[in-house]
Structure 1
């Protein structure tokens, strides 16, 4: 297998300028001489495996979008498969490259086996969901279909995102986010009147009078979002309809839910246009409070938007995002990381998001480690949504956001954590029914694929022992 040399001078130069670094500063960071870096930036020298490792380590976000050739694509896929294996082993690009060059068939087979393994895990997750929902057939409900549709698109819808970004820049007059006044003026130009009411639905549109009514009992950020939703459903009606009609869904109910979800996606993209939001997020090191003030959005909206920054060639820091209610049900979820969520409630009780539900209005930070050895820096915040009447209970839930520990330097919430101490991480799992940990005293259920033994003469916190052999019905 002939390995084509990779030249990435323009990419490195653009990266350096975007970070505001001089050649001498970047060279020092990479452990090379300024003259060597100058030759690399001028494409007089190709990337070496060692330099590639250093760039990937120091700039994981930018380096994930560096274009590669076909051979390098196999190298990248093999490296990803190694990193996502159950027991990942430390390796260098040089070691991986040697395997790919000398044994390409082995590398391809390993990639396929890893993909089959992940498929098996997903099937086990669906079984877990079916058991939890008392649904032996394992069929998905309409909102689960829509949730999985967004997950399969990596929570990024390119057509809508770019259209919303262009629209936002057109009406915002060079501001980071369009103001409420600017959005109302656009509606008025379309002949739509806006009125506010102290009761009724959060948002209601009357076709006969072309009137949009917003409930004033909600926050200003909520009102902005619902005005933006109506604009998005109007301005991008054709795009949303086309995507919905071509989506592979089993029911019209799911298709209607997808239409609403796409409207939500476009509304968020108008208020937080991709390029400006991505730049601000990087500059603020993903400080949620700074971002929500800049873009006039809620804590949850900002967290959700951060999980959508997956535009090819301009990705953001890979994040996971979810929302959990008081009962522990995961009502929203997406992961651009290797973290997988329980498909039906029952999330790990050691996860910081549960503490946040109980203690709202402050940000909780956690360093956690999954059974596959991958560590995450996570934040969670409990949120209380007030109602417009004493007769209605406030809605309480928590949102969580996190990234893999490799991206910790770009995540301001990691600053106070000792990332090197092996005792710092909290060892969590995905769901008790599929968690592989056999030493957890917080288990609610034994794993569904392992046998257990019970000794009547001995009782620990968990009243059974998990065996290594698979369960046999």
Structure 2
């Protein structure tokens, strides 16, 4: 058997340490090794051991993806992530995982694939279960719910479309490495014969095929105009991959497939304006500071947040975040989570979550440390936005967007800098929604959870006019 190449990662270790602002003694303490041993590693005098590789992957999961690893170590890292699933009771030693990846690579790959199938199947079962228990008499999902679930099960990342959009970006990028309004107009005119007109309009974008004229509403912000131009460019240049993806999506109705095509076009437009690899590097450099990234790519706050939630390319992932958009009534109109936090599929969200406060306070970033019923802590950032209509007789749209990550990634998320992210720090207890939240002592509860019976005491009254009985036998309550 051919001996596996040893991993020498001195330059990557130094870059990681400098980026984190750590001294050699600090990083050595985190890795539970001596400073002299770390110095030898940084000078490539010694290779990384499987134990140290696992430690680095655990402590710095985002940075670890940038280490130059051989195929065996990439496979061992995938195994480590799979066996970290709580479904497996006992941990597997890192050296054992490395040996499996080295000696039985076909088995290791199949195990990782099976775990991914298990994870996606579990998510599908949850989706079906919630659909059956929803208020819909048939329990069936509506077309836009199907499309939302399709993106969720795709990890909000579409590889083929993302890479083709990235190629389009590079074909049009100017000296600042961005795609400007002018370059989009020129590209549409020269390659597709489309004449672009900016004018006051009742629609954001309208195309007349007979005259090959695209009218863009000039009342939009500059970032909105560029996005609409990019959307039409997608329709001209990427219709084939979008049709292929929609045809193989498994969605049940033509309406759902048409909605998926629209969602894919929007996805690709964002990928043209914010190309994957460069955008991921920028996000890491500025620790996911949305305002700073937006100014670099000339995109809106919402567009930038949405793009940050799509950085799920295998071997080159960004910070695992959740993202959502909430309107004035508390409806979640966009959502995706690459974290363990899952949004309520039906009903309103938790009123204690800061995003609801942000809706009423536009153009101000609010931050919060929150803890879900499973004990996981999250850093949340929320900002209220007002999208102007460009005219007095039409009300502007008001909503808020939220972006967040698990507290263990706080050093990668600039919005955590003002919070105490230590286990001893205080956190707001939040839940997915009152319908499925198990917290019995919440003063903000709107109605009981559907799987608990309630007890009424006519001689005692607290903030909530009922008590929740212990979960067990008894009638489940419907919303």
TM-score (norm 1): 0.86
| 1:395 counterpart (382, 394, 397) | 397
Distance in 2, matches of 1:26 and 1:248, equals 52
Structure 1 pair 369–21 and aligned structure 2 pair: CA distance change class (3 A): closer
Partner of 1:144: 145
Distance in 2, matches of 1:429 and 1:5, equals 47
Structure 1 pair 48–25 and aligned structure 2 pair: CA distance change class (3 A): farther
- Secondary structure of the corresponding residue to residue 266 of structure 1: helix
Distance in 1, matches of 2:200 and 2:189, equals 22
Partner of 2:225: 223
Distance in 2, matches of 1:53 and 1:69, equals 11
Mapped pair 1:347 → 2:338: no
- Secondary structure of the corresponding residue to residue 81 of structure 1: coil
Structure 1 pair 117–256 and aligned structure 2 pair: CA distance change class (3 A): closer
Partner of 2:85: 80
Asked if the contact 1:6/1:47 (under 8 Å) is kept, the reply is no
| Shift of residue 349, structure 1, vs aligned partner | 0.5
Unaligned runs of 5+ in 2: 101-110
When structure 1 is superposed on structure 2, of 63-72 and 332-341 the one drifting more is: 63-72
| 2:238 counterpart (227, 236, 239) | 236
| Shift of residue 162, structure 1, vs aligned partner | 0.8
Partner of 1:60: 61
Structure 1 pair 304–311 and aligned structure 2 pair: CA distance change class (3 A): same
Asked if the contact 1:448/1:471 (under 8 Å) is kept, the reply is no
Distance in 1, matches of 2:368 and 2:440, equals 22
Structure 1 pair 390–39 and aligned structure 2 pair: CA distance change class (3 A): closer
- Secondary structure of the corresponding residue to residue 471 of structure 2: strand
Distance in 2, matches of 1:318 and 1:418, equals 20
Asked if the contact 1:177/1:270 (under 8 Å) is kept, the reply is no
| Shift of residue 92, structure 1, vs aligned partner | 7.9
Structure 1 pair 330–7 and aligned structure 2 pair: CA distance change class (3 A): farther
Partner of 2:170: 169
Deviations 1:8-38 (A, max 9, x none): 435x64464477579x956751334455564
Deviations 1:163-216 (A, max 9, x none): 111111121045332111111111110211110111221001110111111001
Distance in 1, matches of 2:404 and 2:54, equals 24
Structure 1 pair 28–211 and aligned structure 2 pair: CA distance change class (3 A): same
Distance in 1, matches of 2:301 and 2:230, equals 17
Structure 1 pair 304–6 and aligned structure 2 pair: CA distance change class (3 A): farther
Asked if the contact 2:28/2:38 (under 8 Å) is kept, the reply is no
Asked if the contact 1:384/1:397 (under 8 Å) is kept, the reply is yes
Distance in 2, matches of 1:234 and 1:183, equals 12
Structure 1 pair 30–55 and aligned structure 2 pair: CA distance change class (3 A): farther
Partner of 1:30: 28
Partner of 1:104: none
Higher-RCO chain (CA-CA 8 Å, sequence separation at least 6): 1
When structure 1 is superposed on structure 2, of 233-242 and 39-48 the one drifting more is: 39-48
Distance in 2, matches of 1:110 and 1:407, equals 24
Distance in 2, matches of 1:69 and 1:183, equals 38
Question: CA-atom RMSD, angstroms?
Answer: 3.4
Partner of 2:180: 179
| Shift of residue 395, structure 1, vs aligned partner | 1.0
| 1:277 counterpart (279, 292, 298) | 279
| Shift of residue 126, structure 1, vs aligned partner | 3.2
When structure 1 is superposed on structure 2, of 353-362 and 379-388 the one drifting more is: 379-388
Partner of 1:422: 424
- Secondary structure of the corresponding residue to residue 470 of structure 1: coil
Aligned pairs (5 A) from 1:274-423: 274-420=276-422, 422-423=424-425
Deviations 1:274-306 (A, max 9, x none): 111111111111111111111111000000000
Q: How many residues align?
A: 453
| Shift of residue 220, structure 1, vs aligned partner | 0.8
Structure 1 pair 457–229 and aligned structure 2 pair: CA distance change class (3 A): same
Deviations 1:241-289 (A, max 9, x none): 1111111111111111111111101100010001111111111111111
Asked if the contact 1:75/1:96 (under 8 Å) is kept, the reply is no
| Shift of residue 368, structure 1, vs aligned partner | 0.4
Asked if the contact 2:355/2:400 (under 8 Å) is kept, the reply is yes
- Secondary structure of the corresponding residue to residue 450 of structure 1: coil
Asked if the contact 2:274/2:297 (under 8 Å) is kept, the reply is yes
Asked if the contact 2:347/2:435 (under 8 Å) is kept, the reply is no
- Secondary structure of the corresponding residue to residue 85 of structure 2: helix
Unaligned runs of 5+ in 1: 86-90, 102-106
| 2:207 counterpart (185, 196, 205) | 205
